[in-house]
Amino acid sequence: MAEAMFDGRELYMLHDMFWREFALMPGLVRGTAEGDRERAEIVGGHIAGLNTDLRLHRAGQDTFVWPLLLDRCADDVIPVVQVMEGQNDEVDRLSQELDAALATWRRGPTADSGKALARVLDQLVPALQEHLGTEEAHLVPLMERNIPAAEWSEIVRKGVAEADAERMPLGFGMLMYEGDPEVVEIALVRLPPELRSAVREQAPQVYAAHAERVHGTPTPPRSSELTAARPYRPHSVPPDAAAGSTDDREAAPAVRRRGATGRGRGGRET
């Protein structure tokens, strides 16, 4: 039996979360009244947390993913690096500008500081979306061909061990909001057993409350609803390969296996 490989749907789920939450940020800032410090702190804390999440995600790729791929398929990876290098620099630059503009706005939510913050977000959102789309088109296929599922599980576990445990229910809730239930379970079973049940039960409610506070509704628009044209995603890996190693999947409930149909963003069948 062929070795189970990394399932690209895991990265799609994370990307959907980033796509949704970052796309909604400019409207959150512009919708905050001048001088409303309480609202600015709610929105600002939300933006700061996600900018940190994005930075950690990209650092994890630099530490774990790129070295593996360069070692195993350098001829295929180097052209991808060349494509993504400029995007990486732009996202990094704008992410740092976001930190600075956000700090100024949170200290004093004036009309000028709000406009400055919204302008940075207006630049960052399309740059990030382009970067995520390039990852899905070029990086994900290489990961699916070259990183075994068991090895990916160890990479994720290392990240979980270093993550902020207090933020974990919210982070998983953001993923679960529009994540494929099968893929959500794949991610959940990598958590330490003492956290798994609590996160599974609490995460949706934690995100619903957070979304109500930040977006004004527990059901904000999904990623697929936030732009007229979303990149098409082919089915990630064959269902049998997507099953992963036994220890990773043993806690996941039985689910319907998909055939070779394509899937769009947000877990929708296409």
Q: What is the pLDDT of residues 67-109, one digit of tens each?
A: 999 999 999 999 988 888 888 899 999 999 999 999 999 999 9
Q: What angle do CA 92, 221, 181 make, to 5 degrees?
A: 90
Residue 209 belongs to a domain = yes
Tokens 């990240």 found at? 159
Residue 115 forms part of a structural domain:
yes
Give the count of domains, the chain: 1
- For the segment 202-216, the average pLDDT, to the nearest whole number, is 98
Residue 3 lies in a domain: no
Residue 76 lies in a domain: yes
| Residue 26 forms part of a structural domain | yes
Question: What is the predicted pLDDT for the residue at 235?
Answer: 46
Give me the pLDDT at residue 86, please: 85
Domain assignment present for residue 2? The answer is: no
pTM score of the predicted model:
0.84
4, part of any domain: no
| Cα–Cα distance for residue pair 25/18, rounded to 1 Å | 11
Structure tokens at 76: 């295929």
Residue 136 structural domain: 9-255+262-267
Query: Residue 1 domain-assigned?
Result: no
Residue 244 in this model has a pLDDT that exceeds 80 = no
H/E stretch holding 58 reads helix 37-60
* DSSP-assigned letter for residue 18: H
